């Protein structure tokens, strides 16, 4: 009986193979959203899930996924979609299937947009992004005097460069000024922060490890606390730890949007003609203690509409 | 145990997943201090069991879950109950009176025994369990002696969810869950469960039959002023196996527990302050159905020994947020009553008034905390329970913690006023064993048990996905309560007395590693030594360990093999031997799950298996379908 169960789990072909960049947490939330939406739409699919190990065995995992002869692959996270991309490029003569990705921070940077040409013709998906203008608007709703916003970014990272360019465009349209200080991983964070000292009214955290990893974030938080300027971020974890406000992603919705694309591909849609989806809803978080420390009053209406309000 | 510490040590992003930056790198718990602190920043040892770990364990009840998954707990079968010992602080009266249990924050321990039978909460509706070790009386008052267990149930179900499962040997479970939320933030939820755990086929009469209903509603937005109303009813019936003091096993006795819990809570928060006011209480009855043994150890008639109890309380606390600190202050007034004309001599009641204060500071790498609670009880007098501690962040991957505190366990109404409660012990006469009747008396002059507890610990979270937690703990227990022969010429009379002073010194280690692709390895080890000033004739084992290898995926086959040392003990004999458990789960789809559980996989002779002839290994098969 146990042997039957093992065979059932591992050797069966699958309609859909989900490849996750990592196990657990937000990846599982997205997968849960995807599978439940597909079921809700009436799809009875055989689904198998694989997880990358983050090492040289990842191409083998993609090959394993394709041996299941799925109708399409779902990639959850940057690593997963990149592993599939690289496998497809290295194995041009092997059969390929369409790929729907979700939770990818910079699909354009990875060449997954339709404009990228034939190499992206099998890919479509959902981007993981919070538009800077939404964050600026959320900030101005609680602190209308802000004029200059600072941020740190890694200039060698094309994703960060794109995010900063987008933020500069959005800031200009909203008559704000953006001051972007470059910081490479081996450079001094304190030096970069000092270059922003007394020049900015607020600090915006972007999803770049040079500023958003726990230790750099602690230093940035200490800097903004000392400077008495608000810190805005892109996820609730930072607001819990002391940022004034955050605009976050609903990961389950990432899966649901992915499921909609999966359904269209299964119905015969061409991935190349399906535009990359952006999140439809954002979650907003406030930290009341930080608001008090900055002498800011967050309107009651905004607090009522917030997804979570932190007090510490 | 999984430590979700992902966020450290990542360098260049171009070839790495950047979406992890959106995730919370650390689990957050509220149980220790009533404020949110990450597991990493907790100043005492905290263990968190997530939903996937609960499923992998195969545990049917919260009791089993804690025994199987946390090395600091040791299960023990007793006369009417299976209780938990915690880091050597075992039960003094065979119930879980030295642990405080919370259900979604609602205190569950009763006044009659100071107990909550954790075997009567099914794991099917549990989303997560938070365990905070160490003295918790500075925040929660009585019974938070060795730790606090907070059981958090599944709240969000957007559509009705009904599942049922079947196990071999007549076991089954059925549960209905449903919740909904309106656009203005009001939400309601209900859970009804009905299940039978057949117990192990290694022993007779340790089956459990439980019916429970939980209703909750929240009026108002969760992050603003809102009301929460909560009601739970637990009706459980459990068999007994043996007794701590070597009483003849009575495989006919039952422990019946029927209790209503309720709570109404109003919370509000502003920029600088938050406030919680709640009314809570319970009413219920307990029957301890016992058989009178005949001379030949046959079974006489079974008679009920009935008790009733009530509790009502009003608690309020406020929290102020300062620039680098938060202060929490509050008070609690509680009234309790127990009744039994035959076994308690009538009705007894008491009141307890308490005030508590706690301060937490955020001083960069240091996060100290200081708190205290003062209780004034109408029966046993006043108790002062201070607690202090800190965490210090050595580096991005290492954190030190230390804490010291006092806690107390209030004597229960049973211990204070019991009368007309005979039990039977086997006595050898010639070559035969005959039952010898013993009468147990309460003692109205009992003092609360007290513990002074201290702990130092270090946690390392590697960016490569493994973590290690080491801790040294010390517990100095005074006025430990036990039964004692008070008259030298009347060996048949035993009375509760404050007899034991002893210390426990020990250390614990917890290791967890993600092995990649859904695999996780966890190991826990606890060692303790006793320094008895009065020798206790029974104590839990000096070492315990848990080893788990798990594989988890959303669809298809998942499973866990786990080893516990020692296996659950029985009666006065020291527990021994490794118990091994295999649990395989096949997720056919989002709504269908099959599982196969094998207990004592390698058929090792253990205390439980020795007691019952006819085999040790037991196999359960469960099918669950969510409608």
> pLDDT tens digits, residue range B344-401?
999 999 999 999 999 988 777 788 999 999 999 999 999 999 999 999 888 767 889 9
Of B224, B319, B554, the CB nearest to A304: B224
Pair B99, B146: CB distance under 8 Å? yes
The more confidently predicted of residues B532 and B621 is B621
C-alpha to C-alpha distance for B545 and B524, rounded to whole angstroms: 5
Q: Do B596 and A32 touch (CB under 8 A)?
A: no
Distance, in angstroms, between A54 CA and closest chain B CA?
Answer: 8
Q: Do B586 and A5 touch (CB under 8 A)?
A: yes
Distance, in angstroms, between B330 CA and closest chain A CA?
Answer: 18
pLDDT in tens, B149-158: 999 887 655 5
Q: Do B272 and A292 touch (CB under 8 A)?
A: yes
Pair B268, B222: CB distance under 8 Å? no
Q: What's the per-residue H, E or C state across B451-516?
A: EEEEEEEEEEECCCCEEEEEEEEEEEEEEEEEEEECCCCCCCEEEEEEEEEEEEEEEEEEEEEEEE
C-alpha separations of B267 from B212, B276, B311, B315, B318 in Å: 27, 4, 22, 12, 10
- CATH 3.40.50.2300 at A132-248+282-310, yes or no: yes
**pLDDT score recorded for residue B235:** 94
Compute the C-alpha angle B464/B469/B470, nearest 5°.
140
**Residue A112 has which token pair?**
């997954």
B480-495 mean pLDDT:
82
pLDDT in tens, A80-124: 998 899 899 888 888 889 999 999 988 888 888 766 666 568 999
Q: Do B557 and A8 touch (CB under 8 A)?
A: yes
Task: Fill in the DSSP letter of residue B568.
Answer: P
The more confidently predicted of residues A144 and A214 is A144
Q: Do A308 and B10 touch (CB under 8 A)?
A: no
Q: Which residue of B has its CA nearest to A294?
A: B323
pLDDT in tens, B226-274: 788 999 999 998 877 654 444 455 666 788 889 999 999 998 866 567 8
Distance, in angstroms, between A118 CA and closest chain B CA?
Answer: 22
Distance, in angstroms, between A77 CA and closest chain B CA?
Answer: 6
Residues of chain B with pLDDT > 70, as a percent, come to 75
pLDDT in tens, A233-287: 999 889 988 899 999 988 988 999 999 999 999 998 888 888 889 888 888 999 8
Distance, in angstroms, between B34 CA and closest chain A CA?
Answer: 12
Q: Do A212 and B21 touch (CB under 8 A)?
A: yes
Residues of chain A with pLDDT > 70, as a percent, come to 90
Dihedral (CA of A196, A197, A202, A205) sign: positive
Chain B residue numbers touching A41 (CB-CB < 8 A): none
- Going by pLDDT thresholds of 50, 70 and 90, the confidence category of residue B201 is low
pLDDT in tens, A21-67: 876 678 888 988 898 889 888 888 888 888 776 555 677 788 888 98
Output the average pLDDT for chain A: 85
C-alpha to C-alpha distance for A213 and B580, rounded to whole angstroms: 40
**pLDDT score recorded for residue B554:** 66
Pair B294, A284: CB distance under 8 Å? no
Q: Do B590 and A234 touch (CB under 8 A)?
A: no
Question: Does this complex have an ipTM over 0.85?
Answer: no
Q: Under CATH, domain B19-194+206-626 is a member of which superfamily? A: TonB-dependent receptor, beta-barrel domain (2.40.170.20)
- Going by pLDDT thresholds of 50, 70 and 90, the confidence category of residue B126 is confident
The number of beta carbons lying within 10 Å of the beta carbon of residue B198 is: 18
B509-516 mean pLDDT:
87
B106-113 mean pLDDT:
88
- Going by pLDDT thresholds of 50, 70 and 90, the confidence category of residue B428 is confident
Please state whether the predicted TM-score (pTM) of the whole model is above 0.80. Answer: no
Q: Do A304 and B221 touch (CB under 8 A)?
A: yes
Nearest to B155 by CA among B114, B115, B127, B182: B127
B403-407 mean pLDDT:
95
Q: Do A39 and B319 touch (CB under 8 A)?
A: no
Residues of chain B with pLDDT > 90, as a percent, come to 31
Of B19, B185, B323, the CB nearest to A78: B19
Of A170-179, A206-215, B74-83, minimum mean pLDDT range: B74-83
**pLDDT score recorded for residue A200:** 95
Domain ranges of chain B: 19-194+206-626
**pLDDT score recorded for residue A246:** 94
Q: Which residue of A has its CA nearest to B10?
A: A209
Sequence ranges of chain A with CATH classification 3.40.50.2300: 2-128+251-273, 132-248+282-310
Of B12, B22, B326, the CB nearest to A185: B12
The more confidently predicted of residues B122 and B17 is B122
- CATH 3.40.50.2300 at A2-128+251-273, yes or no: yes
Q: Do A103 and B323 touch (CB under 8 A)?
A: no
Distance, in angstroms, between B17 CA and closest chain A CA?
Answer: 5
Of B19, B272, B591, the CB nearest to A26: B19
Dihedral (CA of A234, A137, A303, B360) sign: positive
Q: Do A24 and B2 touch (CB under 8 A)?
A: yes
Question: A with B: how many residue pairs have Cβ under 8 Å apart?
Answer: 175
pLDDT in tens, A117-138: 665 689 999 998 888 999 999 9
């Amino acid at each position: 009986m146990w042997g039957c169960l093992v065979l059932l789990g591992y050797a069966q072909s699958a309609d859909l193979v989900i490849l996750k960049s990592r196990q657990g947490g937000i990846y599982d939330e997205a997968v849960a959203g995807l599978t439940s939406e597909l079921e809700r739409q009436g799809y009875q699919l055989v689904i198998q899930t694989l997880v990358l190990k983050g090492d040289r065995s990842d191409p083998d995992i993609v090959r394993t996924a394709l041996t299941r002869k799925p109708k399409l692959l779902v990639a959850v996270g940057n690593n997963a979609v990149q592993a599939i991309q690289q496998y497809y490029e290295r194995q041009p003569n092997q059969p390929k299937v369409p790929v729907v990705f979700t939770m990818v921070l910079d699909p354009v940077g990875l060449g997954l947009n339709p404009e990228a040409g034939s190499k992206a013709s099998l890919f479509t998906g959902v981007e993981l992004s919070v538009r800077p203008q939404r964050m600026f608007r959320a900030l101005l709703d609680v602190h209308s005097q802000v004029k200059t916003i600072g941020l740190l970014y890694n200039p060698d990272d094309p994703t960060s460069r794109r995010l900063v360019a987008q933020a500069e465009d959005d800031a200009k349209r909203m008559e704000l000024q953006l001051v972007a200080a470059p910081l490479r991983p081996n450079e001094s964070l304190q030096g970069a922060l000092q270059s922003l000292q007394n020049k900015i009214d607020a600090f915006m955290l972007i999803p770049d490890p040079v500023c958003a990893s726990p230790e750099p974030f602690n230093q940035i938080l200490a800097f903004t606390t000392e400077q008495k300027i608000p810190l805005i971020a892109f996820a609730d974890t930072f607001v819990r730890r002391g940022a004034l406000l955050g605009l976050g992603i609903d990961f389950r919705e990432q899966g649901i949007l992915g499921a909609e694309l999966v359904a269209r591909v299964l119905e015969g849609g061409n991935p190349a003609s399906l535009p990359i989806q952006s999140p439809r809803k954002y979650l907003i978080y406030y930290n009341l203690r930080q608001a008090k420390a900055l002498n800011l009053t967050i309107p009651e209406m905004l607090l009522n509409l917030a997804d979570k309000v932190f007090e510490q | 145990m999984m430590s979700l510490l992902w966020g450290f040590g990542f360098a260049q992003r171009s070839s790495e997943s950047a979406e992890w930056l959106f995730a919370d790198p650390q689990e957050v718990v509220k149980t220790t201090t009533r404020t949110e602190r990450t597991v990493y920043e907790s100043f005492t040892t905290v263990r968190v069991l997530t939903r996937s770990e609960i499923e992998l364990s195969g545990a049917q009840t919260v009791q089993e879950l804690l025994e199987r998954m946390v090395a600091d707990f040791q299960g023990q079968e007793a006369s009417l109950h299976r209780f938990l010992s915690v880091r050597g602080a075992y039960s003094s009266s065979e119930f879980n009176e030295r642990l405080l249990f919370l259900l979604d924050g609602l205190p569950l321990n009763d006044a009659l025994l100071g107990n909550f039978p954790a075997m009567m909460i099914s794991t099917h509706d549990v989303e997560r369990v938070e365990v905070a070790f160490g003295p918790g009386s500075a925040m929660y008052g009585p019974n938070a002696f060795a730790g606090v267990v907070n059981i958090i149930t599944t709240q969000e179900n957007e559509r009705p969810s009904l599942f049922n499962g079947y196990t071999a040997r007549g076991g089954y479970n059925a549960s209905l869950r449903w919740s909904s939320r309106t656009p203005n933030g009001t939400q309601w939820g209900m859970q009804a469960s009905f299940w039978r755990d057949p117990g192990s086929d290694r022993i007779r009469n340790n089956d459990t039959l439980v019916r429970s209903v939980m209703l909750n509603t929240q009026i108002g937005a969760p992050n603003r002023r809102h009301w929460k109303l909560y009601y739970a009813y637990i009706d459980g019936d459990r068999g007994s196996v043996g007794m701590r003091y070597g009483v003849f096993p009575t495989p006919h006795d039952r422990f019946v527990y029927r209790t209503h819990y309720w709570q109404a809570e109003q919370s509000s928060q502003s920029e600088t302050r938050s406030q919680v006011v709640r009314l809570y209480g319970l009413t219920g009855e307990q029957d301890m159905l016992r058989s009178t043994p005949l001379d030949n150890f046959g079974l006489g008639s079974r008679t009920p020994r009935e008790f009733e109890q009530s509790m009502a309380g009003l608690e309020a606390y406020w929290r102020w947020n300062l620039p680098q600190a938060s202060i929490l202050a509050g008070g609690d007034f509680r009234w309790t009553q127990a009744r039994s004309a035959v076994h308690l001599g009538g009705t007894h009641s008491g009141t307890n008034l308490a005030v508590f204060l706690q301060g937490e500071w955020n001083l960069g790498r240091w996060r100290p905390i200081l708190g205290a609670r003062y209780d004034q009880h109408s029966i046993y007098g006043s108790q002062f329970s201070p607690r202090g501690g800190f965490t210090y962040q050595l580096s991005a991957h290492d954190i030190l913690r230390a804490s010291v505190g006092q806690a107390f366990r209030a004597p229960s109404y049973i211990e204070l006023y019991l009368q007309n409660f005979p039990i039977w012990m086997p006595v050898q006469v010639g070559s035969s064993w005959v039952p010898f009747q013993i009468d147990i008396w309460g003692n109205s002059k009992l003092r609360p048990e007290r513990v002074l507890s201290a702990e130092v610990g270090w946690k390392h979270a590697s960016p490569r996905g493994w973590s290690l937690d080491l801790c040294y703990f010390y517990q100095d227990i005074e006025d430990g309560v036990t039964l004692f022969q008070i008259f030298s010429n009347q060996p048949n009379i035993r009375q509760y007395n404050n007899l034991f002073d002893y210390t426990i010194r020990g250390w614990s280690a917890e290791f967890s590693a993600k092995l990649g692709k859904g695999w996780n390895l966890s190991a826990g080890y606890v060692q303790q030594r006793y320094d008895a000033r009065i020798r206790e004739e029974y104590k839990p084992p000096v070492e315990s360990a848990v080893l788990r290898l798990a594989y988890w995926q959303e669809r298809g086959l998942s499973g866990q093999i786990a080893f516990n040392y020692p296996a659950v003990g029985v009666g006065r004999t020291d527990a021994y031997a490794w118990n091994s458990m295999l649990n395989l789960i096949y997720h056919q789809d989002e709504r269908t799950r099959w599982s196969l559980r094998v207990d004592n996989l390698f058929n090792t002779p253990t205390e439980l298996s020795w007691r019952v002839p006819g085999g040790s290994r037991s196999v359960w098969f469960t099918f669950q379908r969510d409608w």
